Amino acid sequence: MTKFIYPTLDLFLYDLREGLGQTEENVEENRRLFKQKLVKINDEDFDRRDKQYLEPEYVELLGERYSKFDSKIHEGYDYPVRLGDTYGLLLDCSCKEEQEVVDLQWLRDLKVQINERLKGKSGTIGQTWMFSAQLPSVPTQEYEKLAKQCYEALIPGANSVDKMGRSDFLGGCLFEFWQYTSPELSSAENPHLIMIFYPNEKAAEDASSLYHDWMFLLMYRHKMMWAYNQSRLLKKDLKREAVEIQACNKEVSENSNIPLNFNALQKTLRKAWDVLPRYTTELSWLDDQSRTLEINQDNYQKRLESLEEKIGEKGLPLAKFGETMRDKYLRQVKRDHANLSPGLKLLAHLIEYIQTMVAIEEEKRERAFQDTIATWGIGLATGAIVASVAGQFPFASDNTTWLVPVRSIGISFVAAVVAGLVTKGIIRLGRR
């Protein structure tokens, strides 16, 4: 009967501690949410260790190295750390007794134990399950069958065939299972699982010194995956706003005929101004995701090479993920940024065009108003002078003196009109 010796289930979980542009209040909230995943904790001691360094590479966040737990059939520990701008948490749970392959309920129970300690929470950046055990009496050719059975017990309903990678590992075998469905799903719903079978106790003991490497390697992996997921959501928003930009472009084309539809253009300008800050910010964030991918892909590759050197093996299946990120996902994000960038230029041109056309129209109206004031101002002044002069001359005898003001008004009006028309003509000639 095949038995698993010291079967152990680990969960490597990662939370964002401090994101770009986040305030102190955001950082405090991130810390509070991470601490909720821990069972036994001294708040003051945790906060002191967390705040002690600006951006440390690696800091253990408990007064003791581990927070251990023990029951009749299980034992394990919690191990929270800070990795620069990220929180990392390793939750370990093992069966004290050997377990048979026939019924894998004990493996499901290990997962339940860890999830209960987490209170049902998952990593905001990502998480990886790692199952390991000693199989000293099992031929390596049977490892794959056992790995699939364990995978299906841990991830019910998942298809293991198309998602599996395999390689030698410390004389035993390592398997990687990865399921990716949608960027809108949580890391728990896009599961990543590593399974390692050791041929003897010596290999298992050697592997225990690699947890530090796994903690970093898997962090870089999930940061890449998180950045890619963010880029997909940003692309979705940008494409929706690109539709608004095209609608603004169409409205400008329809309302640019002379005479201009002044009110319609003003309405389009308000729409464009509303889209501009959102589109600019999200396009900048999309570019940030490509840089995050590049940095973490490089770190992932270096850490993977270090791990392979320590175990004396090359070609771990985890290398395929780094290659996929570099050759497919990173290129996709950069291509999306290049394709969506012209939308920002179009939006800026639309705003500039509308503002220019509106300014020209307002200038025309202002000029016409000023011409009117100049024309009839000069005309009225001229009329007043003529009326004043005309009042100096007698037009009738005493019994018809009422005709004097009437004739003065008439002469003034005619003089004002003539002077106004002459002034208007002179203004027009001056602008030719």
Q: 291 and 259 in one domain?
A: yes
Q: 93 and 24 in one domain?
A: yes
Question: What confidence tens digit (pLDDT) does each residue in 202-223 have?
Answer: 999 999 999 999 999 999 999 9
Please give the tally of structural domains in the chain.
Answer: 3
Give the pLDDT score at 113: 93
Rounded CA-CA distance 265/113 in Å is: 63
| Packed helices 105-118 and 143-154: angle between N→C axes, nearest 10 degrees | 40
Q: 154 and 77 in one domain?
A: yes
Tally of CA atoms within 13 A in the half-sphere of 347 that contains its CB: 23
Rounded CA-CA distance 319/309 in Å is: 13
What Rg do the C-alpha atoms of the chain give, in angstroms?
Answer: 39
pLDDT at 432 over 70: no
Question: What confidence tens digit (pLDDT) does each residue in 120-149 have?
Answer: 888 999 999 999 999 988 888 899 999 999
Give the pLDDT score at 66: 78
Q: 101 and 123 in one domain?
A: yes
Please identify which residue in the block is written with the tokens 């690699």. 210
Question: What confidence tens digit (pLDDT) does each residue in 268-323 have?
Answer: 888 888 888 999 999 999 999 999 999 999 999 999 999 999 999 888 999 999 99
Write the Ramachandran bin of 171: left for phi over 0, alpha for psi from -120 to 50, otherwise beta: left
Q: 208 lies in a domain?
A: no
Give the pLDDT score at 160: 53
Q: 138 and 161 in one domain?
A: yes
Among 18-27, 77-86, 398-407, the range of highest mean pLDDT: 77-86
Q: 207 lies in a domain?
A: no
DSSP 298-310: HHHHHHHHHHHHH
Q: 240 and 94 in one domain?
A: no
Please identify which residue in the block is written with the tokens 């009117």. 372
Q: 145 and 39 in one domain?
A: yes
* DSSP 3-state of 29: helix
Question: What confidence tens digit (pLDDT) does each residue in 384-418 have?
Answer: 554 455 555 454 454 555 455 545 545 554 554 45
Q: 402 and 295 in one domain?
A: no
User: How many other β-carbons are positioned within 10 Å of the β-carbon of residue 255?
Assistant: 18
Cβ(9)–Cβ(107) under 8 Å? yes
Cβ(194)–Cβ(174) under 8 Å? yes
Q: Is the pTM of this model over 0.85?
A: no
Determine how β-strand 126-134 pairs with β-strand 192-198: parallel
Give the pLDDT score at 180: 72
Residue 111, domain extent: 3-199
Q: 395 and 372 in one domain?
A: yes
Mean pLDDT over the full length of the chain: 83
Q: 371 and 341 in one domain?
A: no
Residues 329-335, mean pLDDT to the nearest whole number: 95
Sequence-separated (6 or more) residues with CB below 8 Å from residue 41: 35, 62, 67
Write out the two tokens for 79. Answer: 């191990």
Give the pLDDT score at 416: 47
